[in-house]
Amino acid sequence: MGPLSVIKRNEVVIHNITQMNLENTMQSESDFTLLGIPGLGQYHVWISIPFCFIYLAAIVGNSILLYLIAVEHSLHAPMFFFLSMLAMTDLILSTTCVPKTLTIFWLGPQKISFPGCLTQLFFLHCSFVLDSAILMAMAFDRYVAICSPLRYTTILTPRTIIKIAVGISFRSFCIILPVVFLLTRLPFCRTRIIPHTYCEHIGVARLACADISVNIWYGFGVPIMTVISDVILIAVSYSLILRAVFRLPSRDARHKALGTCGSHVCVILMFYTPAFFSILAHRFGHNVSRTFHILFANLYIVIPPALNPIVYGVKTKQIRDKVILLFSTKATE
């Protein structure tokens, strides 16, 4: 092998190494860095302990709920089908964000690629909108069950339930998908450091060095108007339910009818109260500290998914009886 061929081979090797270094640098520069909760960095490890246990409770509780609804024939009813949808959506909501959050709490600030960031915020926002739609569908289920009990099985047929499930899922997908395209058009030429534990639409958009007015109007306007329309329909459903309940002749009948709605009302309050507080604080709460807002946002993605199966397990007799039977059977084996 002559000196010329050796030089050429070395040049090729140097070129390949340089190209790889350049690609790695470009990849590194395109990544975002999630910092965690600003101002509480020294407490991240301690904060992670309750977060981890609550997340595990959400995983276990919703998994048990899905298992019982799948194997128990007596739970194959429209209300429990929607409840299983809620459990699956809660699992997606918490699993989208909490594992990355715990990694930040344990190992410090973490990098996330731009596609990874888009994927995370898509499933985060889509799960939120879908949760709201499922609660609306459950309110409609309770309205039919109480106001038209004799027509319940003819109105909420399996075909109708599938149509409702596909419709609300497709609606959530169509509402959140434009958010991804609104972010991909933005140039990020300033900092790529996100003072948060996960990616969310407006937080990422504010890092761009371009006009983000379209992102702000769409990000706040369309999802909020969608959720508000769900809330209005839920309120109308429960107004009609209350009117029908108070027309019942016996007190026991009224108590039983309201009892079937108790768990659903609790879940509605747990979902919408912190959600609207977080949204309004993010948009108008200039006096609310960033630390409090981000801490509250983290609690929101982990506490409702953990509490929902507990609420339904305690307040819904069919599920409560099946859970007791499940664990008593395990204990006697």
pLDDT category of residue 190 using cuts at 50, 70 and 90: confident
End-to-end CA distance of the chain: 76
- Supply the pTM of this predicted model: 0.84
Least confident residue range of 33-47, 51-65, 161-175: 33-47
**What CATH superfamily classification does 31-327 receive?**
Rhodopsin 7-helix transmembrane proteins (1.20.1070.10)
Q: In terms of pLDDT, which residue wins out, 198 or 277? A: 198
**Arithmetic mean of pLDDT over the chain:** 82
Least confident residue range of 2-11, 66-75, 91-100: 2-11
User: Tell me, what's the pLDDT at 329?
Assistant: 66
> Alpha-carbon distance 244 to 146, whole Å?
7
pLDDT category of residue 25 using cuts at 50, 70 and 90: very low
Tokens encoding 39: 């101002």
β-bridge mates for residue 33, sequence order: 111, 193
> Alpha-carbon distance 104 to 49, whole Å?
13
Give every CB contact of residue 285 below 8 A, 6+ residues apart in sequence.
293
Least confident residue range of 69-83, 254-268, 290-304: 254-268
Give every CB contact of residue 184 below 8 A, 6+ residues apart in sequence.
118
Residue with tokens 């509780």: 61
E strand intervals along the chain: 32-34, 110-112, 193-194
Task: For 91-147, write each residue's pLDDT tens digit.
Answer: 999 999 999 999 999 998 899 999 999 999 999 999 999 999 999 999 999 889 888
Task: For 316-325, write each residue's pLDDT tens digit.
Answer: 777 777 777 7
pLDDT category of residue 29 using cuts at 50, 70 and 90: low
Helix (H/G/I), strand (E/B), else coil: 288: coil
